Structures are given as C-alpha cells and as structure tokens.
Chain A
Amino acid sequence: MQNTVVKNIFDNFNEYLSKEQELRTEIRDIVRDIDQAAKEAAIALQIIHSSIADVPGACVTARKHFDTCRAGYGKLAELIPDGQYYRFNDHWHFLTQRIVFLIALTVYLEKGFLVNRETAAEVLGLCVEQKDGFHLDIEDYLMGVLQLASELSRYAVNSVTLGDYEKPLTISKFVADLNSGFRLLNLKNDSLRKRFDALKYDVKKIEEIVYDISLRGLRGGETATAAAEVKQEPN
C-alpha cells in the first residue's frame, strides 16, 4: 500500500517542481529585461565622472530607463502570486538594490537629498508595505543607499578633478548624515551589516578630499572666509 502512496507523493512533488521551474523561467526573462534597462541607466550616469555639464542630461536619460524598469516590475507583480514575494525574490533582489542605487544617485544629482523609500518605490511602481502587494524590501532599499555612498566618494574625487571644489563639501555632509542614519539601525550580523561596515571607508575617503581642499584654500568664496574665521578663533 505504501508503494502507491510514496509514488503519489513524488509524482505530486515533481509536478510542483516543474510548475515552479516554469514560473522561474518567466521571472528570469522579465528580470533580464529590467537588468538591461538598469545597465543603460548606469552607463548614462557614468558621464558625471567626466563632465559636469552633462549631469542634468544624464539624469533625464536615467529616468527614461527607470520607466522601462517600472514596466518590468509591473509585469513581475502580475506574475508573482500573492504572499509569495519572498519565495522568488532571490531573482531580483540584487537587481533591485542596484536600481535603488541608481535612483538615489539620480535624485541626489538633481535635488541633493536622499531619496526616501516611498519615493524610490514610487519610481519603480512598487508598494512600500508588504501587505499592499509587490513591494520594495527595506533591506534592498538600504543596500542601494549604501552603494550610493561608494559612488559619491568617487564622484567627489572626480568633481575636484573637474574643478568643482564645492561638491566634496556637500557630499561629505550628505554622507556623514547617511552614516549617522545607519547608526540608528540595529543591524544583525547579515549582509547588510557587512555592507554597512564598508561605509566608513567611503566617509574617510571623502573627508580626506575635503581636507585636501581646505588645506590649500581651494574652497569657494563664502566658505573660504568662514574657514578663515574658524582658523582665527583659537588665536
């Protein structure tokens, strides 16, 4: 008797596996499209390291690619059954982190502040709350923000090279805020914690740039006098 029972169980299991396999294939196809769009946005944004004048244009291009991403996420949302987001999210969570990073970079370049989770989710057409459906996972969002810090440290170096001595100061301020923000979180010993540990090197790198600029008096008019005042105070 057990013979047929066991056979039924495994027939069921195989059927289940093949169904899941099919769904995963479909997911992979969609994810590949989103990935392509994200790559194009990343390529467009690389221009910021070589030309200051092209930054607004790069942001516009990037935003166009985000629209493609949003369409892709819409398709994914339709495909994933309710309450099974985390069953399949290994297919897209690295990708989502990268896109959040790109969005955060774009918003920073445009407006100079940190995109919050709601806005980032909105750009991708996702929900914020898990119960509302296909959502932006908080850890993906935070990972994306951490990637932003690394990119900004590079941006600070290159903006000095391109003759913009103000940028590193604002970036330094921004990254310091990010750093204090992350210190509010109680991170478990997971990948997010590990990535966060790298943040201090970005902070350090940017501070060194600010130091170099300040030391040589390369800061812009107003701040330069402010710095001079500060220097005089101890006397």
Chain B
Amino acid sequence: MSQNRGNARRFVRQGGRGGGGCGRRGKDGEAADDATGPLLDKNNPIIQCFRQYALELDAKHDRYERIVKCSRDITIESKRIIFLLHTIDPRKNNEAKVCEEAKNRLEALFRNQFFGIAKELQGKDAYQYARAYTNGMQEFIEAYTFYQYSSGQDISDWQAIQRRLSYDQLPDPTRAESSLPSDQNECEPAHECKNDEQGTAMVCLQPLDFVLGLGDLSGEVMRKCINTLGSGQVDSCFIHCRFLQDLYRGFVSVSSARSREFSHKMSTLRQSLLKSEKVCYNVTVRGSEAAKWGSSEDGFASFLHHQSSKDTEAAGGDDDEGVFF
C-alpha cells in the first residue's frame, strides 16, 4: 500500500515539471515497474490522457483570457467614445467634428479589437466564449448606437452590426489595419451562417447583448436630454423623451428574455424615462428657463423664488412663458 502511494506521488511531481518531462516519465515508469510489478503499466494511459486534457484545458483558458483582455479594451474605448459624444454642444457648433472623430474611433474598434476577437474565435464555437466578451460587446453597442443617435442616423439593427463584425478573410495582423476598408464589410448575408468555414471569422453578436446595449443607451439619451435642457434647446428634450418612450415600449413588448439582466435593465430604463418625462413636463408647465432650475435639487430654492416673483407679475406673465418655445 505504501508503495502504491509512493508511486502516485512520483507522478505528481513529474506533472509539475510540465510537458518537457514526457519522455523521462516513461523511463521512470519502467524503472518503477520492477519494484511494483505489472500493475503500474495500466497507470500510464491515465497519466498520458490527462496530459492531453491538461493541454486542451490550458489552451481554452488562455484563449478565454485573451478574449477578456480584448473585451476590456473595447469597454474602455467605448466609454471614452460615449464621453466624447456627450461633448456635442450646439453652442460650440462642434457636432460634425465630434461625430467624425467618434466614427473613426468606432471604426478602429472594428478593425483592431473586434478583429482580434474574431481571430481568436475562428473555427471555434463563438458561444463558448460569449461570456468573455459580453460586457465589452454591450458597451460597444451602447457607444455605437449612441453615435448613430447623436449624428441623427437611424439606429441599426443587430443584423447590420453583425455583418460588420464578420470578417471575410483573415490577413496577417500586420496588414489587417490597411486591408479592411469599410466597404469590404458589405459581404453577403450568406456568410453569417458559415462562420466555422475556413477564411470567414466573426464575432457573434447575440441579440440579447444588442438589446441590453440599447438599454444602456437609454441612460445616455437621458443625460443628453438633461444636458440639452441646460443648453436651452428645449425642442430636442421632447425628441429625446419620445425616443425613450419608444425604447421603453420596445422593452415592454419583449415577452420572455430568460435573463435577470434584462429585467434589471428595464427598471433602470424606466427610471431614465421617468426622469426625462419629468423634464418635458417641467418645460411645458413652467417654460424652459424655470425647468432648468427645477431639474437640479439645489436650484429648487431659487426656482421657488423665481416662481413667486413671476406670480406677482402674473398679468403680464402669460407671454413670457411662450417666448421660450
């Protein structure tokens, strides 16, 4: 018995030495054979198999970690792009410039980080690693749709984004940056389902991720709604609010998403919606200037003051509310 255990321990130590010790292990096994008899021969297959399994598991874990890293980069860059898009200010008239820059940075994400993930996923089951990049993907969807929203385009659906995430061929990473112009992404939809074929790689965009990303977008639109109020653009408040209402209607229409995250997103969306609806309400009732004070807590006192002073001149006050519309 004690001999058996000794052998087991020897194998353990060899395992620690790594793959290089493979040839030597066989020798040790034979040498030990003399002492314990033919029993040991049977053990070799187990160890050999497990060496194989170890390689496979390691490869899988490494790939997962690499994808997580890409996903983090995507998250960071997406957050920055969103921040950039919030700097759009009609008073500075910088919309075109900011949108252009955001567009370029989004393109760079498609070219670099997502391309990196696509390369890792080539010939693999994308769903196996979906958890590794779901966060980055949601953040990216948020940035991308927010860019489209801010620049006045229609929000694209996930099929359109999925097409852009499919890469026809995989050239060297060194050539990747120059050889993937945007028009090349207009590949026919047939490529979508053939992801595991040689030469086509894609990052799988799960519709759920897309919708969750849209949920995040609501928060940004709400911020934009409040910001535009600050800059005195009252009409766009109502436009943003309308968009949030549409979005909320969409979320309500979803019957069963099988996801806890989804219901969580929905309650956040509802809060954003209520906030921007209140803004619109305030604008309507009090006129845009008053609403600006009312939307922040510490401005409330001065708003009251303003309100009371307005009441005193109520007779002439009717037309000054209309001015701001």
Give A contacts to B, CB under 8 Å. Answer: 1-3, 5-14, 16-18, 21, 81-87, 112-114, 116-117, 130-131, 138-139, 141-142, 169, 172-173, 176-188, 207, 210-211, 214, 227, 230
Q: Does B316 contact A (CB under 8 A)?
A: no
Do B154 and A86 have beta carbons less than 8 Å apart?
no
Contact of B50 among A5, A16, A182, A214 (CB under 8 A): A182
Residues of B within 8 A of A5 (CB): 154-155, 157
Residues of B within 8 A of A172 (CB): 1, 4
Q: Does B61 contact A (CB under 8 A)?
A: yes
Knowing A13-B254, A114-B45, say if A84 contacts B125 (CB, 8 Å).
yes
A180 to B11, CA, bound (A): 6
Do A179 and B8 have beta carbons less than 8 Å apart?
yes
Knowing A185-B57, A186-B57, say if A3 contacts B154 (CB, 8 Å).
no
- In the complex formed, the residue of A with least CB distance to B145 is A9
Knowing A117-B53, A184-B15, A214-B1, say if A85 contacts B253 (CB, 8 Å).
no
**B104-133 contacts to A (CB < 8 Å):** 123-128, 130
A80 → chain B closest CB, angstroms: 10
- In the complex formed, the residue of A with least CB distance to B65 is A188
Contact of A131 among B8, B61, B123, B127 (CB under 8 A): B123
Contact of A180 among B12, B39, B207, B251 (CB under 8 A): B12
Residues of A within 8 A of B15 (CB): 180, 183-184
Residues of B within 8 A of A131 (CB): 123, 196
A57 to B250, CA, bound (A): 59
- In the complex formed, the residue of A with least CB distance to B44 is A177
- In the complex formed, the residue of B with least CB distance to A210 is B1
Can you pick out 21 interface pairs between chain A and chain B where the beta carbons lie within 8 Å of each other?
A1-B154, A2-B246, A3-B246, A10-B254, A13-B211, A83-B126, A113-B45, A116-B45, A131-B123, A138-B53, A172-B1, A173-B43, A179-B8, A180-B8, A181-B47, A181-B50, A183-B12, A184-B15, A184-B50, A186-B61, A187-B57
A87 to B205, CA, bound (A): 12
Q: Does B188 contact A (CB under 8 A)?
A: no
Q: How many A-B residue pairs have CB under 8 A?
A: 154
Knowing A9-B155, A9-B250, A186-B58, say if A113 contacts B12 (CB, 8 Å).
no
Residues of A within 8 A of B195 (CB): 83
A180 to B46, CA, bound (A): 9
Give B contacts to A, CB under 8 Å. Answer: 1-5, 7-9, 11-12, 15, 39, 42-43, 45-47, 49-51, 53-54, 56-58, 60-61, 123-128, 130, 149, 154-155, 157-159, 193, 195-196, 207, 210-211, 214, 242-243, 246-247, 249-251, 253-257
Do B256 and A17 have beta carbons less than 8 Å apart?
yes
Residues of B within 8 A of A14 (CB): 253-255
Residues of A within 8 A of B193 (CB): 81-82
Residues of B within 8 A of A184 (CB): 15, 47, 50-51, 53-54
Do A7 and B124 have beta carbons less than 8 Å apart?
no
Do A142 and B53 have beta carbons less than 8 Å apart?
yes
A9 to B160, CA, bound (A): 11
Do A82 and B246 have beta carbons less than 8 Å apart?
no
A172 to B1, CA, bound (A): 9
Do A86 and B127 have beta carbons less than 8 Å apart?
yes
**Which has the most chain B C-beta neighbours within 10 Å: A17, A131, A169?**
A17
Knowing A82-B196, A130-B124, say if A16 contacts B207 (CB, 8 Å).
yes
Do A180 and B255 have beta carbons less than 8 Å apart?
no
Do A177 and B8 have beta carbons less than 8 Å apart?
yes
